[in-house]
Structure formats: C-alpha cells, structure tokens
Structure 1
Amino acid sequence: MENKIYKVSDECIGCEACIDVAADNFEMGNNNKAFLKKQPNTDSEIEASNTAIDICPVEAIYIDAKENTEKITPIFAKANIKETLDKHPGLKNVLAKLSPKFEKLQKPALYNTLARFANFKDAAKLTGVSVCEILHTINEYLGVAKELIDNAPECISINSAEEMIIGEEITWEEVNERYILNDDTISEIMKKVSSLKAQENLVIISVEKPISLLKAAIGLELKLNIEEGREYRISLFNPKEEQKTNWYDRKDDFDILDVRTMISDPFDIIIKKAYDTEEDNGFRLIQRFEPIPIINMLKEMGFEHQTKIVNEQEIWVYFHKLITEKDDDEKDASDKPNVVIQSATPVAYPVIMRLLQSNKIRKVVNIKELKVWEETEKHLGWIVNGKADISFSALITSAKLKDNDIKVPAMFVWDNFSILTRGYTASKLEDLIGHVIDTPLFAEAPPAKITKYVIEAKGLNYDDFSFSYGEPFGRPEEILMNFVRGVSDTVILREPEASYAQKIMEKMGEKVSVISYNKIWNEINKGFGSFPNAGIVFKGEFVRKHPEEAKLFLEELKSAINWVNENKKAAANLSFDMMRQPPENVELFLKNVKFDYVSGDELVEKVKNYFQILVDQGIIDTKVDNKLLNMFKLD
C-alpha cells in the first residue's frame, strides 16, 4: 500500500466536516481546529480521508508531497521530543489529547527547553502515560505502527496491553499501609506512584484492574505484582538503587527564588518556600545582601547553607534541607492539614519567627501560605472570608468579628500604645495642649476614641486638644517618619514604632518624652492592670477539625513567647530583617513591649472588663455577652 502522509494546515476553520466523514482519523484539538489523530491505514480509512480532502471548505487537509517522498521510520522511546515534533508538528495536537501535560509543549519556553533535552521515555514519566501508549499513538499517526511492533515487540498493541500486564512475584519488602483506589483518590495515588523513590514500595487496592495506573507504573520502570481476587491488589516497587550524592554537587539544580525586585518584604515567600522544600532538596535564594536572619531562621528549621557572593548587588544563598529521622507517630505530608497563617501586627513578628522554628508544628501541619500584611484591612478580609486558618491580630478586631466563626483563645501583647513628644517635655496629658497630635487611623477608630476617653476621664476638655490624621488614614510607619523628621512634634504610636522612634531620636541626640497609656488607664481604672492588645485568632473550622493541632499551636506559642522574653538580643537578631530595623532598635522594642501569654478564664475575665469599659464609653459598639466571650474559649 502506498505510504501517503495526510496533514491538516493552520488554515482549518474548525467546521468539523472532516470528522463527519473520517472520524477514525480526524479529531478536534484543544485549539478548536481539526488534527490528524492517526494516518489512514485501511482502504476504507484512505477513502474517507480523501473524501475529507475533497469536502474541506478551505482546503486545509492535504497530502504532504515532500514528506511522502521520504521513508517514514518508527519513533522509539529514546527519540528526542523537539526533533520529532519539529519534523512532525502535527504530533503536538495528538500528544495533547493523550495528556493535558503535553499541552505545555505548545508554549515556546518549554518547547525550546524541556522538549529540547527530553525523550519520550522521559515524557512517560512526566505525564503518567505509559511509554508504549505514547509510541503507539504517535506511530499510528505517522502510519508506521506495524513497523513499531516489528522492531519493538515489547510495545504490543493497545488492545492486548491489558492482557499482557501480569506483573511478577514479590521480591521486595512491602509496607503495611494500603491505599484504596477510586475516583476520589486517583489523583493523589498517581502522584504517589510518579514520586515513588528508589527502593520504596506502594500497595494499592482497586475494585477494577487499574490499567492506566499500571501503564504509568510500567512507563516509570517500576516493578509490579498483581493479585486478583474479589478485588485487585497491586504492589509497586521502584528497583532503582538509592544514590547518595553530596548536595553541593546538586545545588545548581535547586529551584531559584530571586527576591531582589520584590517591593514588599519577601519573608513570607521565603518561609513558604522553605516549608515546601522536601528533605535532601533545596533552593537558591538570590538577594542584594546576605540575609542573616533568614539564614538563622532556616538553620533552626533544619537547613544548612552555602553563600556565594556574585557581586556587590547579588548574593546567592543555597539552602539544603537535611534528612531527619521521623518519629513513629509522625504524619506523612499528605495526611497533615494545610494551614494558612497571616499577620498584620508587627509587634508579634519576633514571636512568630520563633514559633515558625518549632519542629513540633512542622510535624503536624503543612504551612500552605504565610502572609505578612502591611495593610490591616487586607488582613481583616482574610479573617472574614475564612481564607486564613491562623491569624495574629489586634484584640479590637474581635469585636468587629463577633458574628464570624472564629476563636481568640490567647492574648500575648499588652499595653501597646504611647504618646511621644519631641522639642518639649510632656509628662501628663495637659502638657499636650497647643500641639497637634498625629494620630493613627481616623477619628472614629479605637486609638482616637480611647484617647478622647482618657482625656475626659482625667477631667480635661477634649476640645482643647488638636488631632491630625493621614490620608486616607494615618499609618504607624508614616507617623513614625513624620516624627523623626520633625514634621510632627507629638504622636500616638503603637509598638514597635514607638521604640523605633525613641532609638532613632536617641542616635540623633534628641530627647523624647513618653506618656504611657497604661499608666493613665490605671489612674482612671484603679487596679485594672495591663490591658490586652493582640493575640492569636483561629478559624473556627480549623479548631473543630484539628483540635489537637490547635492546642499544640497554643503550647508552642507560649513557649515562643517565653523564649523571646528570655532572649531579647537573640530574638532581635532573628527578626530584625523582617521588621526592617537595625537589631538594636528591635532589641529596645523587645525591652519596652509586654509579652505575656494569657488564656482561659483569666483571659475571658480580662476581656470582659476591658470591653465593658470600651462599650460604656462608646468606643466600640457591641454587646458584651456570652456570644462575644465564648470567642475567647478554645473549647
């Protein structure tokens, strides 16, 4: 039979006329254009394909005269993908129908890189499609499937492949765990099959014979055993020998994380990358400077590193995650809950940094995302829409979220606001009269309302005081800069900005007066003590589904707070990069701030008294009832 090569050009308009007359040979591609899924081999297929040529309204179907003069040879497993597709571009659509992963070959970047160096044996491993199925499909398209079988009898026909997959006797040690294969688990199990490491075993139970999975296993060169009874029991084994290589020799293959052009702090992105990195693997961090805090942080998380100075503006840090022995009760990564953690409270950053070093936490959860916000409103949105499982947030937020499904089981930041002055001495509120007070947020926000409350509670006239707010509202960072530059001589600042201002002014030789809100508050409310400022917020669903993990987080939070209180210098060195301040500024902040873990009945009573004062003074609009107070109980 004459060997003709039928093709479809880009002129195709997707009318599907060819499919109506030659459905065995033509098919619609993902680009809404027809393509030849296989060359016609029989007389009836040739006749149908010739009819398709005749009826195509734009003459997009044709016989390639040039290629027709060449002898078409079969494509084998070791054939280079790019060379093959350059010669037979129609195969791109054919392969895309086999697996969506082949669609990536349409992208120039991958086509000129991945396809350039990979062969079809590699493609089988990447896509989970058996190498035999790939070869049959592309050779059938070229019209040389028979030649493939003649030259490679191990690549049997697709129809007989199912009968030939019989496996072999078990000569490997099996694990105890069993995976049930069904429509819900097939994606997860296929991932496990494709990532089966050298000398590892996987046992799968299936009601039906899982042909696709078995083909994938064969393509991955895994050994397999099949036992057929009331159900199929498949044991897979990767026979490859474990290769122990020094990570230094592999470091150039690590993923690259270049953070030099990022506008916002890349801390959360780096930590997320560290959590996602598997043991005995790593990544290359590219930064403009040597990120000492990140290096220290990741060291505690089980990483070792190597630094390379490329030039004054480019530093490479290779991070490698060490292999650790797993405890008997440690969960696999797939069994751990994925959690999203966020914070817009910089006062908590040193505690968060220490908390993230917890090996106990890493053993029970996967940190899916870690977000550090500069905009409080975005952080609030993630709590409201349930996107964050764990948040570090101001207490006042809970009053706004009373109707949301959240738990606030612990507070650990107290007495967080101060009034600072420069250019004049102030020891009491009346000393501020005649000066404009640069105030956070806006006039109806809690800082301004609490200030009004303490002024009037001290018997002073609120109208004698002047306040200014930023546009659209005052952010602490802007207020800090206005103060140290001399734009403002009186400001209300939270921690850590209040301590930063004091340290900067000290270096400038300027004196700063500090009025503590806690002192004034306790003059008004005798014996009240410290008032709560910020704590940890759980999504209610997270607590219900993972109560033990939630309790562990609280235990490790308490431990992190104790460590920060006892190791202020080390905590400053750990977090100064994230806080964008020199270590000495952060250390002063840690000396000024009050970290104290409070939970349970003590917290509920404290919050109740605090909120009642705020409600009575019209500072917040809520009802201090059991619904509100139950938010502060974990159970």
Structure 2
Amino acid sequence: MQKKQFSVSDECIGCRACVEVADINFDINDDNIAYLKKQPTSTDEEIKCEEAMEVCPVEAITVEDVVAVEKVVTVEENENPAIEIEPILSNAIIKTTLDAYPQLKPVLTDISPKFKKLQNPAMYNTIARFATFKDAARLSGLSVCEILHTLNHALGIEDKLIAKMPECISANKEDEKIVGEKITWEESSERYIYNVDVITEIIGKVSKLSPQENLVIISVEEPVALLKTAIGLGLKLNIEENREFRVSIFNPKPIEEKLDWTERKDKFEVLDVRTMTSDPFDIIIKKSYEIEEDSGFILIQKFEPVPMINMLSEMGYECITDKKAPNEIWVYCHKKVSEKDQSETDSDKPSVVIQSATPVAYPVMMRLLQSDKIRKAINIKELKVWEETEKHLGWIVNGKADISFSALITSVKLKDSDIKIPAMFVWDNFYILTRGYKAENLEDIKGKQIQTPLFEEAPPAKITKYLIKAKGLNADDFDFVYGQPFGRPEQILRDFVFGQADTVILREPEASYAIKTMEKMGVDISIISYNEIWNEINKGFGSFPNAGIVLKGEFVRKHPELTKVFLDELKEAINWVNAHKHDSAKLSFDMMRQPVDSVELFLNRVKFEYVDGDKLIEKVSGYFNILIEEGIVDTEIDSKFLDIFTL
C-alpha cells in the first residue's frame, strides 16, 4: 500500500510554522530545528502534513510515496516464507536501517537521550549515513548488545538476533583500521575538541567545509563515526595517534571562480513568506544575519517589501526585485563583502538571542539592528518578536534571551532572576480614549464600560484605580471590562475604531493608532493622559518609566565590552529616531503593521530618552515606592532589587 512519508531537511530555520499547522506530527528539537516526531497515520494527519509543507517558508519539508510497513511480521506470521526478515546487526548503517524501519526512530531515542541528536536533519543526513550501530554504541557509551536487542525486539525478530550470536556484534572481527594520508594541504590554526556533547556542531562544520578548507580536531578516543562521515563526504584525512587522536580533515575540491552575484542569484536559498500567518520580520532578520558574505537569499513576498529592503541595504545588502506574478515578488538579496581585519571571524562573535514584546521599542530596535558595529560584534542566533507578553517574559526567566526589550513593570517578577536592566528609554504610556461623548477628566467616564488591557489584578487596571482614588473618586463607580481570557491591546484598538467600545484604556503605540484612525474617519474623540493626572497627584514627578533594555546577567559578565558597545549603539539609535521621525516611521511601519502617518504620530507623541545610572535608580525608586504604597505591586525596594538597574 502506498503512503506518504514526510521528512525535514537541514534547510529548516526553526520558524515553527509546521508545528503550528501539524503539531501532532512535527516538533522542534533542542537545536531549534523541526523534525518528524510521527509520520501521519490518518488522512487528516496527512492533510495537515501537506499543509505544513506548503507553509514552510524555505521548503524544508519534502514528501515521497513509500510502501507502507503496517507491521513487521515475525517468521511465524510471515505468509510468504520466501521473504526473509534479517535481524539488525552491529555493522548495519544507522540511516539505512531507520529509513527501512522508520518506526524504530523513537525506539532508538528511548534507549538513550543522546540519540535525540539524530532528530537534527544535519546529523541524520551526515553521520547516520555512514555510522554503524557499533559506532553508535561507542558514542553513547551503551552496550551494542543493548541497542541491538532493543531494536530487534521492537521488530519481533529478537530470536533471529540470538541465533546470530556472537556474529551479531562482530565480536570476532575488528573494524578495518581507517588510515589517513600525508598532509599536503595548508592547515587551519583553529583546533576543535571532539566529544559527544559537541558532535552536532563538529559534524556540521565538517559537512560544510568549503573547497580547499581544513578543520583539525582533537579527540581522546578514535572518532570512528566522524572519520567514516568525512570519508563518505569525499574529504581527505590525516590521522595522528599519540596520547590522543589528532585528525586533520580537508576538502580537496578546487575553488570555483565566482561569477558576479547577479549571475548566480537564482541559486540563492529561497525564503518564501507569502503563506506565513504571523509577521515574518524576525525570520527574515535572522536569515540575513546567517547568510555569509558574497552569498544571499531570495525573499518571496506578496508585495514589494520596501521597508525591509531599505533595512537590508543598511545591513550591507544589495537587492534586486522581480515581479513574477501579481502577488509574487521575488527580492534577490546579496550580502556584500565588507572590509574587515584578518583577525575578525564569525567564530569570534557570540551568538545572541534578542527578543521584544514591547511595540513602543520597535522603531529603536529596527534602527539598532542596522548598526554596523552591532552586526560586526554579534551573530543573531534568534530574533523573536512576541505578540504574547507572557511568552516573552518566560524567555527572560528561563534565561533563553540574552537581550530583551521589556516593560519596567515586569522587573518585579524578575527580581530573583539573573538579569540587568541598565537603562530605560521609553517614558509614559497609557491613555483613556472616548468616542461618542466628551470626557475631560476621570469623573466624566464614570458609569461607562471601560475596556481594560490584561486583567483585573494587572498594573493597567490597578494604576487606573489608584488615579481614580487619588482624585477623590470611588473606583467602585467605574465599570472595568476585561477580555477573555484577558484584554489584548490590539483587540481593544479594533473595538474602539469599529465603534464596539466607547471608552478604552490604550497604551502606546495603539493609542496613537486609534487617534490617527479616528482623525481620518472624522470622528471626534477625547484623550485623557495618565501622565498629566499622575503629576497632578505627585507634583514634580515628571515622566514615569515605561520600557527599557533587559540583559541576561551571564551575558553582561561574559561580554562586558560587547555590553558597552550595545548600550552605546542603543543611545545612537534613540538619538536617530528622535531626530528622524519620518524616516523612522518609514523604516518601521511594516513591522508595526500601520500606515507611515500613524507610526509617525506615535513617534511624535512618545518620549524616547536614554536614562541610566543614579538618575535611573532615583526614578525607579520613586515610581515603585508609589506603586508599593498603593498596593499595585508587591515587592521591596532593597539593595537586591536596585542592583538590577546597575552594571
């Protein structure tokens, strides 16, 4: 019976699109690469997998028709005795075996978590192509007998394995010694220590060796699986055995003369984002950082992504657009070769995870990512732009993010985390907007249903009730309404614009979006500023802090110079945004999903100012003392808390 069998190649960029569509069949491994955790076993699952294949922006998912193995029968059950089912022996190639019996993949993973590395397509398509189960036993530290008995038992043919003893483990025959050759190539000065913990990284480097490129590894034990992989890939080896093994691996292919990039642009990697349901910004930026110089990628979009093209041009790219069809624009993006010191290599640059769930910071973040100094100093391992604040917060708490743009109020929840918040740069934020009636103060909205972000115990509602109380009013006279399960600013904005709500609490930038939209619609609205009321109550307080930069403590300790560079470039980005608001709006409107004029209004209304050091601590202390006194947050302003705001 013909069935469809899906697979994920090493082209995967970890965007999770397939998981969103078919989470029963796809998942993301520890290396942030998608893999088939389960082949489809029903028509519905097969359809979902096909949808996942369609939405994959880099076409990393493939499918082929195979003869389905419904059940591997035992000798007794075999209706055709002429077909012999041979047991798996120690010299069997791993990939060949697992391709023949895909149901054994989870069985092998269950034997040892070390075999989870085979879920990485790069590992499965390289080392598993040449390594045997005897090699797997060496790498995992397990008995080859345990591996073979478990696999054959799963196939129902363990008795056949037993009958093959001791040949099953080739006990009477040693592997043929792998002999290298004399070094005739120029060796790299870099050395890599080889062990099971870094095998994925080393195999990846070996499989991507460029023509005439060399790699030297040091291993305590003979790296048989690696040697077989290198030979299988057509690479040359030199092996020296002293107290440890020193292996020099060389790609003998000649260096091809490169054509002008416009003549080889059709061979660039394709990144098709047309079918993605979420904003592809973070995926595109991550890809732009991964691409090597004098190489490129093809971005396919439904429209000409002018802001993204402008941003890429500032990041050292040159782009050519080609309209293939009405809703199919191909953008050929080529990363130009930059002038840099010979000592500067990508391996010197730390891989950094950057994230944000704070839209007010997007214009500054967009400008910051254009920084030539930042681009030369780091590799962006991952760039996440969250719509869900809770996921963003989870990444900070779990230490997954090195650099985050986050609201100050979250620092209360992060007090016991290893973080630093060295600077705030967004000030003020919330407004009450009304339509259909005039509201000049809080008393005017009494009795109205007030659409409120998040939930009742969250800061927006609590701060509003504090302002109401401080103005001599009773908060019980005000009707706060929350979304289910809680109010999202984007939904509150839509409800207000479409007339489904007449009184809303909105943060920036949604407040500015609403103001501009209602202006275009010719609808009069009222605006009540939290900052004005706050300063009526707390004379001379000034702007209250909104959002800033959150750094992982380990990152700061490990990279103090890079931290300084990043903060200096953050200041420059803020200054540029303040001085070039129209250009900043043109740069960031696509990411913010609003027209340029709406984003420009937001930039004219919001306050960007870099504040750090003693001034920051004074402002933060004053702000939180009020929040604590009013029961809005539950924390203590002690040295441990304030230490978060110093480097």
Query: What TM-score range do you get, normalising by the shorter chain?
Result: 0.7 to 0.9
Contact 1:96 1:103 in 2 (8 A): no
Deviations along 1:235-284, whole A, 9 cap, x unmatched? 44333332212333443333333322222222222222222333333333
Deviations along 1:529-558, whole A, 9 cap, x unmatched? 110011122233333343333333322222
| Aligned residue number for residue 599 of structure 1 | 612
Matches within 5 A, 1:296-335: 296-333=310-347
Larger Rg: 1
Residue 435 of structure 1 deviates from its aligned partner by 3.9
Contact 2:286 2:381 in 1 (8 A): yes
The 1-side partners of 2:204 and 2:625 are apart by 54
The 2-side partners of 1:438 and 1:281 are apart by 50
SS of alignment partner, residue 621 of structure 1 = coil
- Residues 1:513 and 1:241: Cα distance change in structure 2 (over 3 Å): same
Residue 62 of structure 1 deviates from its aligned partner by 6.1
Residue 606 of structure 1 deviates from its aligned partner by 0.8
| Aligned residue number for residue 92 of structure 2 | 97
| Aligned residue number for residue 543 of structure 1 | 556
The 2-side partners of 1:432 and 1:125 are apart by 63
Residue 437 of structure 2 corresponds to residue 418 of structure 1? no
The 2-side partners of 1:477 and 1:273 are apart by 28
Deviations along 1:98-148, whole A, 9 cap, x unmatched? 2438745878xxxxxxxxxxxxxxx99963589999xxxxxxxxxxxxxxx
Residue 440 of structure 1 deviates from its aligned partner by 1.9
SS of alignment partner, residue 168 of structure 1 = coil
| Aligned residue number for residue 573 of structure 1 | 586
Residue 52 of structure 2 corresponds to residue 57 of structure 1? no
Residue 253 of structure 2 corresponds to residue 240 of structure 1? yes
Residue 463 of structure 1 deviates from its aligned partner by 4.1
The 2-side partners of 1:106 and 1:293 are apart by 48
**1:483 maps to which of 496, 510, 517:** 496
The 2-side partners of 1:240 and 1:206 are apart by 26
Residue 58 of structure 1 deviates from its aligned partner by 4.2
Contact 1:124 1:131 in 2 (8 A): no
SS of alignment partner, residue 394 of structure 2 = helix
Q: Which amino acid aligns with 1:456?
A: K
Contiguous gaps of at least 5 residues in structure 2: 1-37, 39-73, 103-121, 133-172
SS of alignment partner, residue 609 of structure 1 = helix
Residue 343 of structure 1 deviates from its aligned partner by 1.6
Matches within 5 A, 1:118-133: 127=126
Residue 181 of structure 2 corresponds to residue 167 of structure 1? yes
The 2-side partners of 1:356 and 1:332 are apart by 17
**2:375 maps to which of 339, 358, 362:** 362
The 1-side partners of 2:267 and 2:302 are apart by 21
The 1-side partners of 2:614 and 2:455 are apart by 33
Residue 311 of structure 1 deviates from its aligned partner by 2.0
- Residues 1:481 and 1:405: Cα distance change in structure 2 (over 3 Å): same
Normalising by structure 2, we get a TM-score of: 0.71
Contact 1:99 1:127 in 2 (8 A): no
| Aligned residue number for residue 458 of structure 1 | 471
- Residues 1:211 and 1:405: Cα distance change in structure 2 (over 3 Å): closer
Contact 2:126 2:203 in 1 (8 A): no
SS of alignment partner, residue 92 of structure 2 = helix
Matches within 5 A, 1:1-150: 56-58=75-77, 97-100=92-95, 103=98, 127=126
Contact 1:168 1:223 in 2 (8 A): no
Contact 2:123 2:200 in 1 (8 A): no
Deviations along 1:149-187, whole A, 9 cap, x unmatched? xxxxxxxxx979637x341353x4333223344444454
Residue 519 of structure 2 corresponds to residue 510 of structure 1? no
The 2-side partners of 1:588 and 1:124 are apart by 50
The 2-side partners of 1:322 and 1:216 are apart by 33
SS of alignment partner, residue 483 of structure 2 = coil
Q: Which amino acid aligns with 2:308?
A: I
| Aligned residue number for residue 300 of structure 2 | 286
Contact 2:269 2:298 in 1 (8 A): yes
- Residues 1:92 and 1:251: Cα distance change in structure 2 (over 3 Å): farther
Residue 266 of structure 2 corresponds to residue 252 of structure 1? yes
Residue 421 of structure 2 corresponds to residue 402 of structure 1? no
The 2-side partners of 1:474 and 1:131 are apart by 54
**1:612 maps to which of 625, 635, 639:** 625
- Residues 1:59 and 1:472: Cα distance change in structure 2 (over 3 Å): closer
Contact 2:93 2:131 in 1 (8 A): no
| Aligned residue number for residue 25 of structure 1 | none
Number of matched pairs = 517
Deviations along 1:187-241, whole A, 9 cap, x unmatched? 4333323222122233334456655544444444444445565555444433333
SS of alignment partner, residue 162 of structure 1 = coil
Contact 1:129 1:215 in 2 (8 A): no
SS of alignment partner, residue 495 of structure 1 = coil
The 1-side partners of 2:404 and 2:242 are apart by 51
